[in-house]
Amino acid sequence: MMGLELADNIAAVRRNIADAALAAGRDPGAIRLVAVSKGVDAATIQRAAGLGLTDFGENRVQEGRTKRPVIQEAVTWHFIGHLQSNKVKYVLGQYAMLHSLDRMSLARELSKRLERQRLELDCLVQVNVAREAVKHGLEPDRALPFVDAVRRLPGICVVGLMTIPPFSEDAEASRPHYRGLRLLAHEIAARQWPGVGMDQLSMGMSGDYPVAIAEGATMVRVGSALFRGDDR
């Protein structure tokens, strides 16, 4: 992928983020762009970091393990994919945030290892707002009791929620799901549980991030809109 094209893509996404934020009366600086670099080679990630991107998201443990050590710039890594409990050891100390905490068995395994290594990990609880059978993520009704259970586990810091809506060509189709996630975060935040933050909403992808921002996203996970190019 040509550097100029990448620079153009980054500028366009940043502009769209700013426009969507301002239209919603929000501060564009309050929205973090997580560049989803799955399937993107290390050299391109390196170039994107050189062009000012600071946050990168990977969804496969093995792919991350081969690419991350190559990147020279100090960037922040997010793990955004489904995480198997037996791969937890490859995530701890390597990623600043886990976007996909979605079950008690994973939470227990994470906590056990975090406690042993005296580490903490910021986690987002993944909610399947649309209740799609094929998707990972908790049923919305399960999210509140889940957070209540997880907050008692050492090492895990719940900082917000994440969702992936059903695929649609129409960005507006995502709106009720993003709104639902925001309302759920409000409901959980109202409990005022010590140590539980609900400030972070990870929602919005290439096809619909302006809608997600209008509904309160604080992190958008954008892949193809940044990295699309001839070599992908």
In contact, 98 and 122? CB cutoff 8 Å:
yes
The span from the CA of 135 to the CA of 174, in Å, is 15
Question: Which tokens belong to 172?
Answer: 């507006």
42 to 81: interface string for ligand PLP, x by CB under 6 A: -----------------x--------------------xx
The span from the CA of 201 to the CA of 197, in Å, is 11
Of the ranges 23-31, 41-49, 85-93, 220-228, which one interacts with ligand PLP (CB under 6 A)?
220-228
Q: In 10 A of CB 97, how many CB atoms?
A: 24
Beta-strand relationship, 32-36 and 219-222:
parallel
Closer of 80 and 123 to ligand PLP (Cβ): 80
The span from the CA of 36 to the CA of 224, in Å, is 8
200 in contact with ligand PLP (CB under 6 A): no
Total of residues contacting ligand PLP (CB under 6 A): 14
Q: Residue 220 corresponds to which amino acid?
A: V
Q: Give the helix/strand (H/E) hosting 112.
A: helix 104-116
32 in contact with ligand PLP (CB under 6 A): no
Using CB under 6 A, which of 143, 164, 181, 185 touches ligand PLP? Answer: 164
83 in contact with ligand PLP (CB under 6 A): no
Q: Give the helix/strand (H/E) hosting 225.
A: helix 224-227
Site for ligand PLP in 87-126 (CB under 6 A): none
224 in contact with ligand PLP (CB under 6 A): yes
Of the ranges 40-48, 83-91, 178-186, 201-209, which one interacts with ligand PLP (CB under 6 A)?
201-209
Q: List residues binding ligand PLP (CB under 6 A).
A: 36, 38, 59, 80-81, 164, 205-207, 221-225
